[in-house]
Structure 1
Amino acid sequence: MTADKLTNRDVDEAPAVGGERAQWLAALAKHRQFLRFTTRDLTDEQAGLRTTVSELCLGGLIKHVAEAERSWGDFILGGPAAMPDYTALTEADWARRADSFRMLPGETLAGVLDDYAEVARRTDELVTTVPDLDATWPLPKAPWTEPGAQWSVRQVLMHIISETAQHSGHADIIRESLDGAKSMS
């Protein structure tokens, strides 16, 4: 899927559910669309360019959001064992993690967008099928996590939406710095 071909069809393909779950799906779809839209009409090279003092690029942001959403989906299914112990990561692990914010040689914008679409489909399926939105797991060990904290599926979904929205804003700034195009205004 390319960002310049996004339509309401992307939202309409979500499984039919009602109530709170429909609201989660709608919020996810809205913020994903904003993020993908920032890459419309770009080449692979442009998607990999840094346009600010930040290390971030548009393709890397989408890669990162896809990886984060994938990891949190794993967490919904398997709890903290499905995620790394961030307090035990080595310097090499952190360097590999930093690569999720960059377009690496051989990666394409189309490939990054396709991966993100697949992750989104999986998350949408979880939203519609997980038996209990109140089910909780202890959070994985991380320097930014309060020891003993737990999140419900609902809190994880809120985090995925928040992270996607935050990075959509980052992407909008990067895109405007790249060629003046704006996504959210």
Structure 2
Amino acid sequence: MSEIITGTESTDRDPADAPAATGERADLLALLAHQRRFLRFTTRDLTDDQARQRTTASELCLGGLIKHVTSVERHWGDFVLEGPSAMGDFTAMTEEDWARRADEFRLLPTETLAGVLADYAEVARRTDELVATLPDLNATQPLPKAPWFEAGARWTVRRVVMHVIAETAQHAGHADIIRESLDGAKSMG
């Protein structure tokens, strides 16, 4: 039997445990936390099997969306700290690399919704700490080689955080549609 995520489990930590952030950093982190809550909320009261289920023409499922957003946030955090090498060279990816990346959008049979939510909480904690403690949001890194990035472009930490917020918000909207198609439950309406 699949474990049911009741929605009472919280991956939000006590604000007293979070690194102190003020001003712009606090605003960015508050917006990101808000979008994360929407995304996680779409998985309330689901079994692992439901979290694996595709409910639209898309390949997306709720467990896979959580995995994907976790991976995106993790990789952009690595990028901030280590530069483009942390993300790899997308222009050199093999078919096997792309297949592994496609698995990022699926909750595999060996994975659980509780497990991917716990991983997401840990990545969120790390991101929040980075944003709160990095010396300069204006610090830049060159973007990795990828057909979707402008050659030679650089992003600031601020731009990376805004990208993670946008990515999380976009997928929270996808998750809302998938959940409504699954059982009629709505997260944002």
Q: So what's the TM-score if we normalise by structure 1? A: 0.95
> Which runs of 5 or more structure 1 residues have no equivalent in the other structure?
none
2:68 corresponds to 1:64: yes
2:139 corresponds to 1:140: no
Q: Please list, as runs of the form range in 1=range in 2, the aligned pairs for 1:86-97 lying within 5 A after superposition.
A: 86-97=90-101
Amino acid at match of 1:5: T
Q: Is the 8 A contact 2:11 2:117 kept in 1?
A: no
Residue 129 of structure 1 corresponds to 133
Residue 44 of structure 1 corresponds to 48
Q: Is the 8 A contact 2:83 2:142 kept in 1?
A: yes
- Select which of 163, 171, 177 maps to 1:173: 177
Residue 25 of structure 1 corresponds to 29
SS at match of 1:102: coil
Number of residues of Structure 1 aligned to a counterpart in Structure 2? 184
2-side partners of 1:11 and 1:76: how far apart? Answer: 25
Shift of 1:7: 6.2
1-side partners of 2:117 and 2:67: how far apart? Answer: 8
- Select which of 121, 124, 128 maps to 1:117: 121
Give CA-to-partner distance per residue, 1:88-124, whole Å, 9 cap, x none: 1001100000000001111000000000000000000
CA distance change for structure 1 residues 106 and 181 in 2, over 3 Å: closer, same or farther? same
Q: Is the 8 A contact 1:49 1:57 kept in 2?
A: yes
> Which runs of 5 or more structure 2 residues have no equivalent in the other structure?
none
Residue 15 of structure 1 corresponds to 19
2-side partners of 1:90 and 1:183: how far apart? Answer: 37
Shift of 1:6: 5.6
2-side partners of 1:63 and 1:32: how far apart? Answer: 12
Q: So what's the TM-score if we normalise by structure 2? A: 0.93
Q: Is the 8 A contact 1:3 1:37 kept in 2?
A: no
Amino acid at match of 1:57: C
Amino acid at match of 1:36: R
Q: Is the 8 A contact 1:48 1:60 kept in 2?
A: yes
CA distance change for structure 1 residues 46 and 28 in 2, over 3 Å: closer, same or farther? same
Residue 166 of structure 2 corresponds to 162
Q: Is the 8 A contact 2:141 2:155 kept in 1?
A: yes
1-side partners of 2:93 and 2:14: how far apart? Answer: 37
Shift of 1:178: 0.1
1-side partners of 2:127 and 2:23: how far apart? Answer: 17
Q: Is the 8 A contact 1:11 1:29 kept in 2?
A: no
SS at match of 2:43: coil
Give identity over the alignment, percent. 71
CA distance change for structure 1 residues 45 and 8 in 2, over 3 Å: closer, same or farther? closer
Amino acid at match of 1:126: L
Structure 1 segments (4+ residues) deviating >3 Å: 6-11
Give the root-mean-square deviation of aligned CA atoms: 1.5
Q: Is the 8 A contact 1:65 1:164 kept in 2?
A: yes
Question: Greater share of helix residues, 1 or 2?
Answer: 1
